[in-house]
């Protein structure tokens, strides 16, 4: 408990650093630059669903994490980002923020951008009524703002749960000044049968397919995402990628000057060949073993309820679903899965 508390304090005090200056980690990818964006000028980003995306140069990536904070991996991912001097954008769930306010404060103290992702993460945004929509959006913002204790630290960025957009939802979010964040690339780290190497490969392949740039959507609440992240960051650096941090414009910090066409997503003319991972399987196994040891540890000084432990072990899946898939699952050795990952 004490060790975790010390990590919380030390990391909360850490100052931002760029790629050339990441104390104690010369191999860190770092954060190469910060872009300031104005939701009033660009209301929706992410080429997965919209014509525009964040105006990135070649080999630039924006890391985004959804669904935090949950025990224990939100903190593990924060440790990894701090060790690599990487700044990301978080889309927090209000009910989770209410349960773990200290972790929300840690995300803010370490310089990440904090947007919201609804109050309870219902997967019905595309068909819910106006009253429920307003309640989910405003409730999530209020809960995260309460956890932060300072509403001005909250970015007017919103990611729709399940990316289940509709014209009505988009119009409402724009009317209340929120910038909707879809994504350019998903690594599908929420899927049960995708392992760490699969997450890394999907992220790299799909960034390449998007023209070597884009917003990457991950979920920091999953152990395999935390296990994959150090290697993903290393692979990105090896391939010459740079991490870009996105923050909202304020009266004191106006939007970064850009041309309108820089925001328009254009698919590359040629689809690149799939990338080959340089991933060290032994390192992946070591990362995963470390993740699995982290059960029931102190969560930034906050007590973890039995309910939260259950959610952390098997996020949002009912018992019948687990039994069903346990009965159907074919045993597969991790080594075999990694070896054959090029062909799945």
Q: Catalog residues that contact Zn ion under the rule CB under 5 A.
A: 66-67, 161
Tell me the residue nearest to Zn ion as measured from the CB: 66
CB of 228: closest distance to Zn ion in angstroms?
Answer: 18
Q: Give 104 or 197: the residue with its C-beta nearer to Zn ion.
A: 104
**Cα 204 from Cα 159, distance rounded (Å):** 22
Name the catalytic one among 42, 96, 121, 219. 219
CB of 41: closest distance to Zn ion in angstroms?
Answer: 26
Q: How many C-beta atoms surround the C-beta of residue 26 within 10 A?
A: 7
Cβ burial of 143 (10 Å; 0-12, 13-18, 19+) is buried
Is 219 among the residues known to form the active site? yes
**Cα 237 from Cα 204, distance rounded (Å):** 11
CB of 266: closest distance to Zn ion in angstroms?
Answer: 28
Q: Give 161 or 223: the residue with its C-beta nearer to Zn ion.
A: 161
Beta strands in 207-303 (DSSP E): 214-219, 242-248
- Adjacent-strand bridge partners of 214: 61
The three-state secondary structure class of 219 is: strand
The three-state secondary structure class of 60 is: strand
Q: At what angle do helices 101-109 and 130-148 cross, to 10 degrees?
A: 70
CB of 50: closest distance to Zn ion in angstroms?
Answer: 18
- Adjacent-strand bridge partners of 52: 264
Is 315 among the residues known to form the active site? no
CB of 65: closest distance to Zn ion in angstroms?
Answer: 10
> Do strands 242-248 and 60-66 pair parallel, antiparallel, or not at all (unpaired)?
parallel
**Cα 155 from Cα 137, distance rounded (Å):** 13
**Cα 128 from Cα 126, distance rounded (Å):** 6
Q: Give 66 or 110: the residue with its C-beta nearer to Zn ion.
A: 66
Q: Give 60 or 66: the residue with its C-beta nearer to Zn ion.
A: 66
Q: Give 221 or 300: the residue with its C-beta nearer to Zn ion.
A: 221
Name the catalytic one among 66, 184, 189, 220. 66
- Give yes or no for a contact between 227 and 195, defined as CB atoms under 8 angstroms apart: no
Would you name the residues annotated as active-site residues?
66, 219
């Amino acid at each position: 408990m004490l060790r975790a508390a010390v990590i919380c304090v030390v990391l909360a005090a850490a100052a931002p650093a760029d790629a050339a200056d990441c104390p104690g980690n010369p191999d860190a990818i770092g954060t190469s630059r910060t872009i300031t964006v104005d939701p009033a000028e660009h209301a929706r980003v992410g080429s997965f669903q919209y014509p525009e995306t964040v105006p990135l140069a070649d080999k630039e990536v924006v890391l985004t994490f959804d669904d935090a904070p949950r025990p224990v991996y939100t903190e593990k991912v924060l440790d990894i980002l701090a060790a690599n001097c990487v700044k990301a954008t978080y889309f927090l769930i209000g009910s989770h923020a209410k349960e773990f306010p200290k972790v929300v404060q840690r995300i803010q103290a370490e310089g990440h951008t904090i947007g919201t992702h609804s109050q309870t993460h219902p997967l019905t945004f595309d068909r819910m009524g106006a009253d429920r929509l307003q309640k989910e959006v405003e409730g999530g913002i209020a809960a995260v703002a309460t956890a932060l204790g300072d509403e001005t630290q909250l970015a007017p960025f919103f990611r729709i749960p399940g990316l289940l957009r509709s014209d009505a939802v988009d119009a409402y979010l724009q009317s209340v000044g929120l910038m909707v964040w879809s994504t350019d690339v998903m690594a599908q780290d929420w899927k049960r049968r995708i392992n760490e190497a699969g997450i890394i490969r999907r992220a790299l392949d799909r960034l390449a397919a998007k023209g070597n740039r884009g917003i990457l959507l991950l979920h920091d609440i999953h152990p395999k995402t935390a296990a994959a992240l150090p290697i993903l960051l290393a692979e990105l650096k090896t391939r010459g990628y740079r991490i870009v941090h996105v923050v909202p414009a304020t009266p004191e910090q106006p939007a970064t000057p850009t041309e309108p066409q820089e925001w328009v997503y254009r698919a590359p003319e040629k689809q690149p060949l799939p990338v080959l991972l340089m991933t060290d399987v032994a390192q992946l196994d070591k990362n995963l073993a470390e993740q699995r040891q982290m059960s029931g540890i102190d969560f930034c000084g906050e007590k973890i309820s039995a309910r939260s432990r259950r959610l952390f072990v098997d996020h949002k899946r009912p018992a019948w679903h687990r039994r069903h898939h346990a009965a159907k699952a074919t045993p597969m050795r991790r080594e075999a899965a990694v070896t054959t990952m090029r062909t799945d």
